[in-house]
Amino acid sequence: MRFLSSAVLAAVIVAGAVGTAVADPGVATHEPVVDKVSPAIVSIACKSPPRKNMGEMGWFGTGTVISEDGAILTSTTVVPTDVKPDSIEVSFARGKKIKAEFVCASAELEIAMLRLPKGKYPWVPMGDSKTLKLGHVVYTFGNCQNVMENDDQVAFAQGEVSGFYKISDVFEDKAWYEWCTYKGDVVETTAPLNPGVDGGPLIDCHGRLVGIMSLSYNETRWLGVAVPQHILADRIGHWLKGEAVKDAPKVTPKKPDPLPKDPDVEEDEDAPYLGVSFEADEPVIASVAKGSPAAKAKLEAGDRIVKIDGKDMKSPAGVAKAIKSHKPGDVIELTVQHGEKETTTLKIKLGYQPM
């Protein structure tokens, strides 16, 4: 998230100050979208249990009513998966706080659903994020800097679709934002994402929800991003029908030992690094570490290492011994067989052990 520039803050204040004024037909305006969407925007506050080295956690942000009977969509950066259900309070602009029921949440998709007490509420229909293109006009709405509580209005900003990419590609080899759990495809927008707007909607020019604003962002471009509606649609559909579909259990793959340990070779933190693991007792590659010398040489799982520097390889231990007879930076000659194809001889520069 980022703070408002003076220009953006002015735009937000003006958007709120206009209220229900009648638009001059000769003046370009976004009032129809503001009037359609703002009544369905809610501020959210909740709490979660203490976390490591922290006390009870407080959370706040924005949500959007997406059905007439009061279903609210927001982000897990606003309502975490371990929320205290009895702590959730929502409010509309110029409205009192209402207790909301927790329905379900997905850390993987970074969305949560709440439900308001029985009644009829203003709501925003779903759009189709697959139809978005670069340059399309879009909007963000939300409880920026607690404006809904302090000024009885919804913060509004207009921008354009400025990019499409995958967050995990942007954050390769970089630390993730502390609360960010979604790493998939996003819609990037020049419409500001400011403190308190996460969990709020990305709205198209027809006043339809096409994404949920996320704390993920591309630090080199410094623009807001949204989790696209089409990625969330299936999960939302189940939740609206009362089917509490949850994320699949997260499996953290065990990092393989790049080479089997050889008792005859002394361990050394400066030992050379190839970046492969092997299947059982055969010198057949089981996996290739991302970014390793083996990966750069385009070695693949299933490749058999036949020779190293002209010497036949019969076992993973033999490969380990041959590799460890070198030092990082040495270039070795590797003869590899890929499936039924003829052998190929490659020259590979060994690296240092990863930290």
For the chain, percent of residues with pLDDT exceeding 70:
80
pLDDT, residue 26, reads 57
pLDDT, residue 290, reads 83
pLDDT, residue 235, reads 93
Tokens of 267: 């361990």
Question: Would you say residue 267 lies in a domain?
Answer: no
Verify that 213 and 140 share a domain, yes or no.
Answer: yes
pLDDT, residue 6, reads 36
Q: Once rounded to an integer, what is the mean pLDDT over residues 190-197?
A: 86
Question: Would you say residue 93 lies in a domain?
Answer: yes
Tokens of 34: 């503001």
Q: Is the pLDDT reported for residue 190 higher than 50? A: yes
pLDDT, residue 180, reads 67
Question: Would you say residue 250 lies in a domain?
Answer: no
Q: Are 137 and 208 in contact (CB under 8 A)?
A: no
Verify that 203 and 296 share a domain, yes or no.
Answer: no
If one compares 311 and 171, the residue with the highest pLDDT of the two is 311
Q: Is the pLDDT reported for residue 8 higher than 60? A: no
| pTM check: above 0.75 | no
How many structural domains are present in the chain?
2
If one compares 216 and 113, the residue with the highest pLDDT of the two is 113
**Pairing outcome for strands 155-166 and 185-189:** antiparallel
Q: Where is the domain boundary, 224, 240, 256?
A: 240
pLDDT, residue 140, reads 95
Mean pLDDT in the chain? 82
Q: b/e string for 192-208 if b means 16 or more Cβ within 10 A?
A: bbbbbbbbbbbbbeebb
Verify that 87 and 221 share a domain, yes or no.
Answer: yes
Verify that 162 and 73 share a domain, yes or no.
Answer: yes
Q: Which domain holds residue 154?
A: 6-240
- Quickly tell me which residue has 């009032």 as its tokens: 31
pLDDT, residue 216, reads 75
Verify that 72 and 14 share a domain, yes or no.
Answer: yes
pLDDT, residue 263, reads 46
Q: Once rounded to an integer, what is the mean pLDDT over residues 191-195?
A: 83
Among residues 254, 260, 324, 332, the alpha carbon closest in space to that of 299 is found at 332
Verify that 31 and 175 share a domain, yes or no.
Answer: yes
Among residues 84, 9, 72, the alpha carbon closest in space to that of 44 is found at 72
pLDDT, residue 202, reads 96
Lowest mean pLDDT, pick from 112-121, 237-246, 264-273: 264-273
Q: Using H for helix, E for strand and C for coil, what is the string for the chain?
A: CCCCCHHHHHHHHHHHHHCCCCCCCCCCCCHHHHHHHHHHEEEEEEEECCCCCCCCEEEEEEEEECCCCCEEEECCCCCCCCCCHHHCEEEECCCCCEECEEEEEECCCCEEEEECCCCCCCCCCECCHHHCCCCCEEEEEECHHHHHHHHCCCEEEEEEEEEEEEHHHHCCCCCCCCCCCCCCEEEEECCCCCCCCCCCEEEECCCCEEEEEECCCCCCCCCEEEEEHHHHHHHHHHHHCCCCCCCCCCCCCCCCCCCCCCCCCCCCCCCEECCEEECCCCCEEEEECCCCHHHHCCCCCCEEEEEECCEECCCHHHHHHHHHCCCCCCEEEEEEEECCCCCEEEEEECEECCC
Q: Where is the domain boundary, 217, 240, 263?
A: 240
What does the alpha-carbon distance between residue 276 and residue 299 come to, in Å, rounded to a whole number?
9
Q: What angle do CA 155, 202, 236 make, to 5 degrees?
A: 120
Q: Where is the domain boundary, 240, 255, 284?
A: 240
Verify that 229 and 305 share a domain, yes or no.
Answer: no
Question: Would you say residue 306 lies in a domain?
Answer: yes
For the chain, percent of residues with pLDDT exceeding 90:
45
172 Cβ contact list (under 8 Å, min separation 6): none
pLDDT, residue 250, reads 64
**CA dihedral of 260, 263, 264, 268, whole degrees rounded to 10:** 70
- Quickly tell me which residue has 């703070």 as its tokens: 3
251: confidence class by pLDDT, cuts 50, 70, 90: low
Q: Is the pLDDT reported for residue 16 higher than 50? A: no
Q: What is the pLDDT of residues 94-111, one digit of tens each?
A: 778 899 999 999 988 999
- Residue 151 belongs to domain with CATH number: 2.40.10.120
259: confidence class by pLDDT, cuts 50, 70, 90: low
What does the alpha-carbon distance between residue 132 and residue 204 come to, in Å, rounded to a whole number?
8
- Residue 318 belongs to domain with CATH number: 2.30.42.10
Verify that 22 and 100 share a domain, yes or no.
Answer: yes
Question: Would you say residue 248 lies in a domain?
Answer: no
Verify that 199 and 318 share a domain, yes or no.
Answer: no
pLDDT, residue 205, reads 93
What does the alpha-carbon distance between residue 333 and residue 221 come to, in Å, rounded to a whole number?
42
Verify that 167 and 287 share a domain, yes or no.
Answer: no
Question: Would you say residue 63 lies in a domain?
Answer: yes
Q: b/e string for 16-26 if b means 16 or more Cβ within 10 A?
A: bebeeeeeeee
Verify that 71 and 153 share a domain, yes or no.
Answer: yes
Tokens of 202: 């990305």
Q: What is the pLDDT of residues 136-152, one digit of tens each?
A: 999 999 998 888 888 88
What does the alpha-carbon distance between residue 16 and residue 10 come to, in Å, rounded to a whole number?
10
Verify that 36 and 184 share a domain, yes or no.
Answer: yes
